[in-house]
Structure 1
Amino acid sequence: MLLKGSCHCGAVHFEVESPHPYPFNRCYCSVCRKTAGSGGYAINLGAQSESLKVEGREHITVYHAIIDGEISPAERHFCKHCATTLWVWDPRWPELVHPFASAIDTELPIPPERTHLMLAYKPEWVEVDVRGPDTCVYGYPKESIAEWHERLGLVS
C-alpha cells in the first residue's frame, strides 16, 4: 500500500510503500510517548525504506534518543518548523522505515487487533482497554510486524 504523509505546517510531504499498513502496535516507551505520543502512546507502521520519497527534506531534522546513557542509532525524523514526528529509521535494520501513523494522510485500514508494547513505561493516567482481541505485551512484541500480518492474513 502506498502511504502518503506530511507534517502539520505542510513543509514536508513524503510517500512510502508499506506491506504492513495496519496501525496495530501502540508503543508506550518514554521515547515514543514523549516525542510522538498522543493518548500516552505512539503508533509506528512498517514500510520499505528504499521506497521513501520526500519533498521538503531541508525542513527535516533528526533526533537520536539517549537510552540507558547511550545515544541510540535510530533516527527520529521530524519537521523543524512544526515538530511533527514523521518516521523512524534505524541503521541496524536499513531496509525498514517506520512512519508514525499520526503523520499519514492516506486512509489506513482498521486493524483486527492491537498490541500494547512497553506497558511498564506508560503513565498512570493512561487507560489501556484490553477487552476483545487486543494483546498486552509488556516487553518487546512476541512476533514481528510481518509475522502479525501473516498470522492475520493481512499480507499485501
Structure 2
Amino acid sequence: MAVELKGSCHCGAVRFSLQSSSAVPYQLCLCSICRKVGGVGGSINLGGFYETSNIEKGKEFISVYKAVLNRDTPEESIASSERNFCSKCSAMLWLYDKSWPELVHPFASAIDSPLKTPETLVCILNNSKPEHVHLPEGAKEVYDKYGKESLESWHKKNGLWVE
C-alpha cells in the first residue's frame, strides 16, 4: 500500500495530503527554475498519485507558476508543468504536468511527514548550476543532465518502491 504524505506551506494557510509509492527524497535538481523558485541550491520532488491528492485547507491560497524555459533566447517558451505554491508565503507545494495526468510531484521541502534519507543523493542538471551554488555534503552522484533512473525505477532498484 502506498505511503500517505502530508504537507503544508510555511505559514500554514495550505495543507494537503496524497499517496506516494516513491517518497524518498533522493534527487536534487539544480536547474535555474528549481534553484530560483525552490530556494537554496535547488529542489527535490517526490512522486505521488494525482487522484489521491487532497487539499485539506487553503485551496484559495494556491497559485500556479508556469516556468519560462530558455529565457532570453530565441527558443524561449512557457513550460507545460505547473508549480503550485502558497500565495501568502510563496512556499512551493507541488508540481503538476498534464503530460502525466495521473502523477503529481510534491516538493520534499513542503512535506511534514517523516521521509527516509537516501544513502546517496543524485544531483541533476549540474550544468545549470553557477559556481556560487555548492552541492550538499555526503555521498552523491552528479550529472550534468539527467540521472540514469526515473523516480519509479530508482525506487524499485533500491527496494524503496511501495505498492
Using the size of structure 2 for normalisation, the TM-score is 0.90
1:145 aligns with one of 141, 147, 151:
151
Would you say the 8 A contact 2:120–2:138 is kept in 1? no
Name the SS for the 1:146 alignment partner.
Answer: helix
| Alignment gaps of 5+ in structure 2 | 71-75
Q: Which of residues 91, 101, 122 is equivalent to 2:98?
A: 91
Aligned to 2:44: 43
Q: Which runs of 4+ in 1 moved over 4 A?
A: none
Cα deviation for residue 112 of structure 1 reads 2.3
Deviations 1:49-97 (A, max 9, x none): 1110002111100000110211111000000010010000001111111
Instruction: Confirm or deny: 8 A CA contact 1:130 1:136 kept in the other structure.
Output: no
Identity of aligned residues (%): 44
Q: How far has the Cα of 1:141 moved from its partner?
A: 2.4
1-structure distance, mates of 2:35, 2:138: 22
Cα shift readout 1:22-41 (whole Å, capped 9, x = no counterpart): 00000000001100122x11
TM-fit CA distance, 1:130? 7.5
Correspondent of 2:142 among 132, 136, 140? 136
Who is 1:155 aligned against? 161
With normalisation by structure 1, the TM-score equals: 0.94
